[in-house]
Structure 1
């Protein structure tokens, strides 16, 4: 240790001793949880701690901090009359569990265990009574035999003794059954109580967690300090209910939050804020390191794989992937993205220089691995799996005061908002896939809140019609919600005609189809009828031509831009009331396919890209 370091350490000890000599210590206080910002996996809790006593240096101990507290997340804020000098976290072992709810469970477990012990002793006593009766029987039977031989047998006494013995045995049998039942019930109760205790004290021990505040009180008047800390094992997720009335003029959107709260402390009458951001304690952001690269031959890469096992080519992010499959590239990018998210949260919670540097290096390592993919993979492979998805928007919902959330295992629900939004209802028929016709509503988010992606439950005319998922919707944005199948409509697809011919070296085939939509209801209904043409991967090899259609294709902008070039056909038609059988709504069209007559038409052997393309189209359909 250098002289300067020894001097600084000595000076620190002197300052600490000086503070200790002049400080006024008070009895521990708990304070009151006044505000909570709930994130997706953590929460920032604010406690208001009263500061009493004379002006001067004070050491305030805030007790009963929860089990799931993040120790290095503590910080305090004072008002005009209080100056915060330092905040420290400490733990103390105690003889009993400090939480009231756990102490109650411990008392119940102890009482049940004592009752079980008493039941066990009673069972043991029954065993002794049974043994005694057996010994009594062993004495009575030989004596009766001897008396009978001698001619002095007292038959009446023998009968009374026999009756008494059998009555006692019957009583013992009944008591054994009853005590066994009691023991089974008590064991089940103790097991249940122990499970409850384990759930609310997961990872905890008989330890008291405290914050020590070193403060300077400037005046005699009472003051307050806000103690803030992060807790784990809590979070929230969005949930929606869509209700449409019979007139279909608007849809009632109910936006709620499903909350998991198992932090170890109850939040009573708090000011609650829900946030999609990540809590950040570190004042410094990650630093960028140089990207060092080198050339590696195929033999060197093979040696790395041989040394680390056959799976290292998929898992080792330092190995180039020039010849890797698209699915392997996607898997690697997905893994890198998960690592980056984890490290970003870790650096946000880092409280010292060493941790910030350590997590910064991990982030640099992840980014270097992705940049290696940029150097070695094609653009289409890189675009197939986004690395910079950003994790969605950072949104906060302030619910105000008066929210109470107990620390318990089951989920709790609070409402974020409720609003009526304008709607445009229509039906969708895809007869190539299903004869059912589904109801959809195009809505516009006219509320004051952005809507996060989450599960949705739909009701129509007060009846449950199905479940779905809502995409993330910004304020003012349009989106589509499904309201289940309509039993009053049916659709089917019929192949009317097919002709084959040749022209030169090509084969020409023409198809004629009829799409039938039936409406058994008593009101006209707008229906979007959707079908498709073959979409050639290589237009020079296969030519697909749409011929005549009985109805004009939809002029919807999104459809014309995204789906029509992919061979999707869509007609927006009105189906009259009672349109069934001969009066059903018909749509006819034909198309031709021309290709070399020496080959046949087949489906692509790999469908991963097509599946991603389909999923993207579905997401686009939800957002208008």
Structure 2
């Protein structure tokens, strides 16, 4: 029995002989010798820079020039959505550039580009092969034990029970090991499938190839710059408020995704706030040209008017990250930003990989923080409640609009929209305040006539609200209300507020009013308004 157990243990160690993996070599550059052109230099282009805008990206690739003389360099495996009009070539000193050829490849040639340079796919394939070999070894051990049980006669009375228990223990261990390996194998296969899905060149199974004819006496390099549809980024923000310290922190992140058909692996990346789809020129004023006509000539002219042609605009093509030696410094991921007359560029310090499968890559690009002013805002005529608000005087107009997640005292409150102008004027809302109690105590409407001969209709409205501060500290309250606005000379409006309002036409909104005051802890304050509207009884009052 001991000899059997020894053999089983040896079987568990036999894995190397079962390892096998087939990794396709990356596609190099296509030769143009068959086309009668100068021989193509065998090298793969490297991405030197990617700048992502809204809906498209600018890509700069480089190829080395080895040797001297005339030769053709080929940038292969480029996106099928490449904007051919945007192509430009830059060469080093001493390099002459000839014609540039652009062609679209499909079928097998495009398929070979699929996983070019994807070291992650190759590494995952090797991992899966190791797990598969380990599973085969475990199955071999199980088979060996089953065969051994069939041919071995265990008939020694003193060892029968012991041998049975040993066999049972070994069987349980092998089965558990096989199950564990199978689970690891399934996870590894899923990871490989995801990587390979991300490595797909494009849904149309085609690629663009650019050939550049050059002449040089010394080694150098050329750069290819182009624009490609299918890449974009959008900002998202997180605002965190501490109501005790009145500190407000707002961090800006970028969510990046691309489906250009190119896998951008380990690339330098810049994000730009520019939207290339916007208008690039302002509109000219419309000039009115006046003429006179009679009704008969108008009807005759209408019969001969040409049918207007509607020009259809093509939708933009959008395809669907030694002992004793000092430890190295940790990398910093602080994004640098630059304001170029209203265009903000965010340059990531680290290289990132962004596969062409639409997956989202997120990175923090900026952060602003400082002391805010806190207050409770209530609009009692709309809702009997108060809401936390905070100002952000430290904000700069550099950030573009985007969604914003809100946290108050480390609790997620909800989300709103980041807009610099709106937040500057109105502050940032941080959810309802349960410790501010708002109660309506008066709501009266009266109507009557005045005058015996020149009758006048009057409408009087009275509203009053009570505010109670149940916080343990004094709170700043801002109460928003409104007063009627007359748009007719024969309609008179008089309004009385108690206490007097702090601001009329709040934030340049006609008819909006605001009270602002400090309300001590456990104290109550009442605000009331009475408005009287007078107008001729022969007319009706319209409220919009």
**Is the CA contact (8 Å cut-off) linking 1:199 and 1:409 kept in structure 2?**
no
Q: Distance in 2 between matches of 1:286 and 1:244?
A: 41
Q: Which stretch of the first structure deviates more once superposed, 89-98 or 291-300? A: 291-300
Give SS of 2:485's match.
Answer: coil
| 2:439 corresponds to which of 462, 470, 492 | 492
Cα–Cα, structure 1 residues 400 and 227, in superposed 2: closer, same or farther, change >3 Å?
A: farther
Alignment of 1:482 with 2:429, yes or no, is yes
Gaps of 5+ in 2: 1-34, 126-188, 318-340
In the TM superposition, what is the alpha-carbon distance from 1:495 to its structure 2 partner? 2.9
Query: Counterparts of 1:74-473 in structure 2 under 5 Å?
Result: 74-95=87-108, 97-101=111-115, 200=200, 202-205=202-205, 207-217=206-216, 219-220=217-218, 222-278=219-275, 298-299=298-299, 303=303, 394-446=343-395, 450-472=398-420
Q: Which stretch of the first structure deviates more once superposed, 511-520 or 229-238? A: 511-520
TM-score of the two chains, using structure 1 as the length reference: 0.57
In the TM superposition, what is the alpha-carbon distance from 1:577 to its structure 2 partner? 1.4
RMSD: 4.3
In the TM superposition, what is the alpha-carbon distance from 1:431 to its structure 2 partner? 0.9
Q: Distance in 1 between matches of 2:405 and 2:198?
A: 34
Q: Distance in 1 between matches of 2:95 and 2:474?
A: 72
Query: Counterparts of 1:22-101 in structure 2 under 5 Å?
Result: 24-54=38-68, 56-95=69-108, 97-101=111-115
| 2:477 corresponds to which of 527, 531, 554 | 527
Give SS of 2:260's match.
Answer: coil
Cα–Cα, structure 1 residues 292 and 213, in superposed 2: closer, same or farther, change >3 Å?
A: farther
Cα displacement string for residues 454-508 of structure 1 (whole angstroms, at most 9, x for unaligned residues):
111111111001100011459x967622111112113233435544443331122
**Is the CA contact (8 Å cut-off) linking 1:200 and 1:408 kept in structure 2?**
yes
Could you list the runs of 4 or more consecutive aligned residues of structure 1 that deviate by over 6 angstroms after TM superposition?
A: 102-105, 284-288, 290-297, 476-479
Cα displacement string for residues 308-362 of structure 1 (whole angstroms, at most 9, x for unaligned residues):
6xxxxxxx689xxxxxxxxxxxxxxxxx9x97xx89x99xxxxxxxxxxxxxxxx
Give SS of 1:64's match.
Answer: strand
Cα–Cα, structure 1 residues 599 and 492, in superposed 2: closer, same or farther, change >3 Å?
A: farther
Give SS of 2:112's match.
Answer: coil
Cα–Cα, structure 1 residues 603 and 71, in superposed 2: closer, same or farther, change >3 Å?
A: same
Cα displacement string for residues 528-557 of structure 1 (whole angstroms, at most 9, x for unaligned residues):
101112223x2313221112x22232248x
Count of equivalent residues: 409
Give SS of 2:41's match.
Answer: coil
| 2:494 corresponds to which of 537, 541, 545 | 545
In the TM superposition, what is the alpha-carbon distance from 1:37 to its structure 2 partner? 0.9
Q: Distance in 2 between matches of 1:25 and 1:301?
A: 68
Cα–Cα, structure 1 residues 426 and 304, in superposed 2: closer, same or farther, change >3 Å?
A: farther
In the TM superposition, what is the alpha-carbon distance from 1:93 to its structure 2 partner? 4.0
In the TM superposition, what is the alpha-carbon distance from 1:436 to its structure 2 partner? 2.1
Q: Distance in 2 between matches of 1:567 and 1:292?
A: 35
Give SS of 2:534's match.
Answer: strand
Alignment of 1:570 with 2:534, yes or no, is no
Give SS of 2:108's match.
Answer: coil
Cα displacement string for residues 359-415 of structure 1 (whole angstroms, at most 9, x for unaligned residues):
xxxxxxxxxxxxxxxxxxxxxxxxxxxxxxxxx964332334423322222322122
Higher strand fraction (1 or 2):
2
Gaps of 5+ in 1: 1-19, 109-188, 309-315, 319-335, 347-391, 605-624
Higher helix fraction (1 or 2):
1
